[in-house]
Amino acid sequence: MAAHLSDPQDVGIHARHVSTVSTIDSEMNDESGNPIWKNRVESWKDKKNNKKKKVAKNNKTEQAPAEIPHEQQMEDKQDALMQQPLSEIVPMSRNKLTPYRAVIIMRLVILGLFFHYRIMNPVDSAFGLWLTSVICEIWFAFSWVLDQFPKWSPINRVTYLDTLSARFERPGEPCELAPVDFFVSTVDPLKEPPLITANTVLSILALDYPVEKVSCYVSDDGAAMLSFESLAETSEFARKWVPFCKKYEIEPRAPEFYFSQKIDYLKDKVQPSFVKERRAMKRDYEEYKIRVNAMVARAQKTPEEGWTMQDGTPWPGNNTRDHPGMVQVFLGNTGARDMDGNELPRLIYVSREKRPGYQHHKKAGAENALVRVSAVLTNAPYILNLDCDHYVNNSKAVREAMCFLMDPQVGRDVCYVQFPQRFDGIDKSDRYANRNIVFFDVNMKGLDGIQGPVYVGTGCVFNRQALYGYGPPSMPTLTKSSSSSSCSWCGCCSCCCPSKKKAELDASELYKDAKREELNAAIFNLHEIDNYDEYERSMLMSQRSFEKTFGLSSVFIESTLMENGGVPESVNSSTLIKEAIHVISCSYEEKTEWGKEIGWIYGSVTEDILTGFKMHCRGWRSIYCMPPRPAFKGSAPINLSDRLHQVLRWALGSVEIFLSRHCPLWYGFGGGRLRWLQRLAYINTIVYPFTSLPLIAYCLIPAICLLTGKFIIPTLSNLASVLFLGLFMSIILTAVLELRWSGVSIEDLWRNEQFWVIGGVSAHLFAVFQGFLKMLAGIDTNFTVTTKAAEDAEFGELYMVKWTTVLIPPTTLLIVNIVGVVAGFSDALNKGYEAWGPLFGKVFFAFWVILHLYPFLKGLMGRQNRTPTIVVLWSVLLASVFSLVWVKINPFVNKVDSMEIAGTCISIDC
């Protein structure tokens, strides 16, 4: 470690360039046909044409053309690029957005009239069903408002990578792009294959970014020697892979996914050297895969005496619950070079200490350990975290983020830049909505127009200072003398401001100031500390307040004060390894603010939502970046059971946040920094699991109506018919206009609706009960999964049947509604043509439930394109038998009194 980091200049301060950007005149962007704008453009064109004519004349008259030095031309181009912005907001077209907003308002009005009709016209014959349905409909309308209004102002963004390069990568000068620390987290190499993690690491090391600015930290929270050895193999293969990627600019730069592309790789690179090197590289990669897979095969059975390293010493992590902290630098920018002699980015293995009796907080705790280790070793001002199965699909992804974070106008208040999640290996129909297109392409765009998208756990570039709990620089500093100064100002204008109003104003301002101070975890403001000399800063760092916040590490505390990143020059590089081990000890976070106010926040399995929420409450904003080529791609669980368990974990995290002190319903109101539409969006992220309760009831109502012969809606009048028709039309129009401005396909919207019902009646329901049991009674329940093998090779995982408790509620709903439809038709056949009219309304709602649960039904059958013949035969047979029995018994026919039957018989005999 000391050998790799012996030169402190290699990890020194990287100051950001803070040159100003000239703003573009608003009239130049106006598209309304302003005559001033037209005149300016026309005059500019005339001047340009006149200049061209003059140049042409001079060229004709002179025998030799005017010689303009090439260097001067390049400088002129760079100066022009320097004046351009790094990014721009592209608002949605008014032709798309105005009708969309109008339909939302219209739908609200129709909903008000609809509920007035429903409440004022109860169904006495089925009062219980009617009341249940009305309560469910009110909740659905409330959840629709929470989901819809944060989409009120969606926006798009564009970035200018050429401008970024011209500003921060000028020829002949040191590169001024900001360093970035990459975090890759893994736990169990048997569940998260080392080859997948290795591809993620290789795609990071081969980024189109200066190598001295990239550091990759791999967190092995399972302390597995398999992960350590596979990372050692990966570091060796990277010496060949990285120069190959950069030489030929290939995409993507994860070898597994690059070589699996079904494209003609000779299309744009026909030179023989590329063909030869590609074949050699593919051969090297196959050999590398064989070595890694051999390690995985050996790791299937753990030796009784534990694992032993190559030098004969026992592996420190043999006991995964009781082991010391481990840090190993595989690659560094001093001495680590590729096959062509060029430097490689840093690659660092980290496994934090684990001891019995300590709470380790799973992924959130591992991420916080990486924050501290990276601050001690490299301290880049920005952090990009990825799951082990999310590789870099766009080598310029970091540059895309820097167009926002390094912009002196935009980036000051940006806490993170979130990229959408995209996935490989999903079937074309996307049966279980794994791609989640509606959320990433509709909801997140809407949030970007308010205060920014929510943090979704991966593919996110953080401002390190925001993770430390500091507020954004644009927020005014709160001083103790603010109240007195306001009083003295009011004293000069006593005739305008009565003393009573003065007192009320001062009280409200003091209350807001106190609330804002609660939201700021930082003890001191960075901009105030910058004015101190070295001695005063060291005195401040020694105060107990800093130690209570950040822990007992002077090196780490000093790194938190360096807004532009970099390792302090006063620190001896030989002591860095000891300090890195110290900050990942399991007792380091005790009696500190880690997980409470700084770093990844503890208290929920969905620590991502909670962490982003805290940042937004402090006044930060986030940005949504959607480059044309997806920045990152991952793998999603495509079979039904795994997908439901993924949704169950997300929903459980939302319930935990709802029951915690960080609930968006009441947290952070006094500070006034979280916008109201943003708060609605966060409320929606924590209350959506509770929709499962009314959804279960509403999906049961059609079957109950068909079995009992009752209905929740009275005989419709003309006005009621218009209301129902208007409600359905407004729902359809909202969806159509949403598709129009978002670009999402109707198939993706329909899949999202289907899985909303499937997840709502299964995973969300279990999450609600599990959350209350866990938070109130301390009971932690687990729903086990039993795997059955799949027969199909392609999308084999899709056809696997994994029986789990979560599958019971939707299966019950399907059977009950199918039985209800059969019973309804049988009853109508028995009663005659008069019963067919009321039947259609009941059957419509039952088919609504069955159509939404249809992907779940196909998942149970286990095949993608066809249903097994035996299932069809048994279904027809059972339906026929049930229909005949129903017609014969008909249990819901009113029983006739026996005396009436006897009298009827006597009269007939007479």
| Residue numbering of the annotated binding site | 185, 191-192, 221, 362-363, 387
Helix axes 676-687, 640-658, angle to 10 degrees: 120
Cα angle: 485, vertex 545, 558; to 5 degrees: 100
Q: Which residues of 413-434 are buried (b: 16+ CB within 10 A; e: fewer)?
A: bbbbbbbbbbbeebeeebbbbb
**CA distances for 89 relative to 64, 80, 410, 423, 640, angstroms:** 46, 20, 11, 26, 39
Assign 3-class secondary structure to 771-791.
HHHHHHHCCCCCCCCEECCCC
Cα–Cα distance for residue pair 247/206, rounded to 1 Å: 11
837: Cβ contacts below 8 Å, ≥ 6 apart = none
* Interatomic CA distance for residues 82 and 170, integer angstroms: 11
The residue count of the chain comes to 910
649: nearest Cα among 418, 896, 852, 457: 457
Asked if 297 and 553 count as a contact pair (C-beta separation under 8 A), the reply is no
Distance of CA 700 to the CA centre of its chain: 33
Binding-site residues for UDP-alpha-D-glucose, in ranges, read: 185, 191-192, 221, 362
> What span, in angstroms and rounded, lies between the C-alpha atoms of 379 and 346?
13
Give one word for 425, left, alpha or beta, with left for phi > 0 and alpha for psi -120 to 50. left
The CA distance from 596 to 31, in Å, is 48
* Contact (Cβ atoms closer than 8 angstroms) between residue 129 and residue 710: yes
Q: Tokens in use for 460? A: 């996110």
Query: In sequence order, which ranges of 791-868 are alpha helices (DSSP H)?
Result: 808-831, 836-852, 854-861
**β-bridge pairing 382-387 and 180-186:** parallel
Binding residues for Mn(2+): 363, 387
Instruction: Kindly list the catalytic residues.
Output: 221, 608
416 forms beta bridges with 462, 622
Do the strands 414-418 and 802-803 form a parallel or antiparallel pair, or are they unpaired? unpaired
The amino acid that residue 385 corresponds to is: N
Rg of the chain on CA atoms, in Å? 33
